[in-house]
Amino acid sequence: MRGKEFSFSLFGESHGKVVGVLIEGCPPGLEVDKQEMRVDLERRKGKKRFSTERRERDEPEILSGIFNGRTTGAPITVVVKNKDVDSTFYEKIKDKPRPGHSDYTAGEKYYGYNDHRGGGVFSGRLTVGTVIAGYFAKKILSRRGVEIRAFIKSIGGIECGGCDLEDIFHEDFELCPDDDAWERMHGLMKEVQDDGDSIGGIVEVVAKDVVSGLGGPFDEDLAADISKNFFCIPAVKGVEFGSGFEVSEMRGSEANDEFYFEDGEVKTSSNHCGGILGGISNGMPIVARVAFKPTPSIFKEQGTVDLEKGEDTGLRLKGRFDSCIVPKTLSIVEARMAVVLADHLLRWYSWKEFMNLERE
């Protein structure tokens, strides 16, 4: 993500030596606790039964930008070594692109020179770096009291029941605040896995106590920046804010969020806009939903092509695959939201400081 103040770049490949991240624009003096960083990295692994059998400790190794436990203001480089790697099956199918994967398009883009093992640079493995960048972004946001939390909204059409979005920050749950709905989701995931198939779902993410005034029109649009970052997560196929597509069925009198004062602050009686108006945060919680497609790696036979022979063929995958990636995406979605808000918050502080100088 190339933000104007806070940005990060991912590097590495799924079956290479390391994956990592270079973070730029992080202010100095932020306290860094590797154990806190590991918490979100462990969340990224998801539920063991439904995630790939590839098991790695994901130990972050800080190479630069941290001194005596605090950020220095210099670029931060963090790597995580790939240790549990098995490329055997990928060598066998390198000329047979997997349906639903980037294999074919990556080969076209890079003339076949791309690392095809485990999806290479297109693999979800690189989200390790995203989660690490999100850790530092959350540190920045915490200075302003901003909190972010994601939960599973639905899997395969089974939806989490209504819950107060303020409560999700206080409730003790791992993946979904609706226990009954989670049990049904869990049962569906097992059924699909036993059938050698996969399934997708929706993650909802909420950022609360976001200051009003972040973002702007056109290429400063906050919703556009958040959306682009969500779409940078592998397997994301849709993003909506607030009431999302439902507003297309409403009248203006229903969709408009009416204003009122509360303790001298402007609030809205509803939040159909999802906390963003005109590309600018309005001070209400930013609410977004992110749709994930089913994992394309499944154990059912599928049709593909043999690029070497120039003929149609079939493909039955073998190896270690996720049957449902949704449970492992929560920390990734939070991270992508956090890096955008951190970037815009740092821009806002510059703007605010200038206006304060002008008033003086």
| pLDDT tens digits for range 74-111 | 999 999 999 888 888 899 999 999 999 999 999 999 99
Query: Mean pLDDT over residues 196-216, rounded?
Result: 97
CB-CB contact of 207 with 283 (8 Å): no
Is residue 139 scored above 70 in pLDDT?
yes
Q: Which of 108, 114, 57, 110 is nearest to 90 (CA)?
A: 114
Is residue 54 scored above 60 in pLDDT?
no
Structure tokens at 3: 């933000």
Is residue 247 scored above 60 in pLDDT?
yes
Beta bridge partners of 79: 20, 61
Q: How confident is the model at residue 166 (pLDDT cuts 50, 70, 90)?
A: confident
Locus of tokens 């819950």: 163
145 half-sphere exposure, CB direction, 13 A CA radius: 5
Residue 217's contacts (CB-CB under 8 Å, 6 or more residues apart) are 278, 279
| Number of residues in the chain | 360
Locus of tokens 């963003």: 276
Structure tokens at 125: 């493995």
Amino acid type, 70:
R
pTM above 0.85, yes or no: yes
CB-CB contact of 325 with 47 (8 Å): no
- Can you give the pLDDT at residue 53? 54
Is residue 17 scored above 90 in pLDDT?
yes
293 half-sphere exposure, CB direction, 13 A CA radius: 14
- Can you give the pLDDT at residue 57? 80
Query: Mean pLDDT over residues 175-196, rounded?
Result: 95
- Can you give the pLDDT at residue 355? 83
Query: Mean pLDDT over residues 188-214, rounded?
Result: 96
Query: Mean pLDDT over residues 289-318, rounded?
Result: 95
**CA distances for 158 relative to 82, 166, 203, angstroms:** 35, 22, 12
Query: Mean pLDDT over residues 241-257, rounded?
Result: 97
Other Cβ atoms less than 10 A from the Cβ of 155: the count is 28
CA-to-CA distance for 279 and 304, rounded, in angstroms?
Answer: 42
Q: Over the stretch 119-138, which tens digit does the pLDDT of each residue have?
A: 999 999 999 999 999 999 99
- Can you give the pLDDT at residue 130? 98
The pair phi, psi for residue 336, each rounded to 5°, is -65, -40
Query: Mean pLDDT over residues 239-268, rounded?
Result: 97
CA-to-CA distance for 249 and 245, rounded, in angstroms?
Answer: 8
Query: Furthest-apart CA pair in the chain: how many Å?
Result: 74
Is residue 199 scored above 80 in pLDDT?
yes
CA-to-CA distance for 158 and 256, rounded, in angstroms?
Answer: 29
Q: How confident is the model at residue 352 (pLDDT cuts 50, 70, 90)?
A: confident
Question: What is the domain class of 7-359 according to CATH?
Answer: alpha beta
Q: How confident is the model at residue 288 (pLDDT cuts 50, 70, 90)?
A: very high
**CA distances for 235 relative to 42, 103, 164, 201, angstroms:** 20, 14, 28, 10
Residue 137's contacts (CB-CB under 8 Å, 6 or more residues apart) are 6, 335, 338, 339, 341, 342, 343
Q: What share of the chain is helix, strand, coil (3-state, %, to 5)?
A: 35, 25, 40
CA-to-CA distance for 46 and 131, rounded, in angstroms?
Answer: 13
Q: How confident is the model at residue 165 (pLDDT cuts 50, 70, 90)?
A: confident
- Can you give the pLDDT at residue 322? 84
Ranges of H-type helices in the chain:
34-43, 88-92, 103-109, 127-142, 179-194, 222-231, 252-255, 330-359
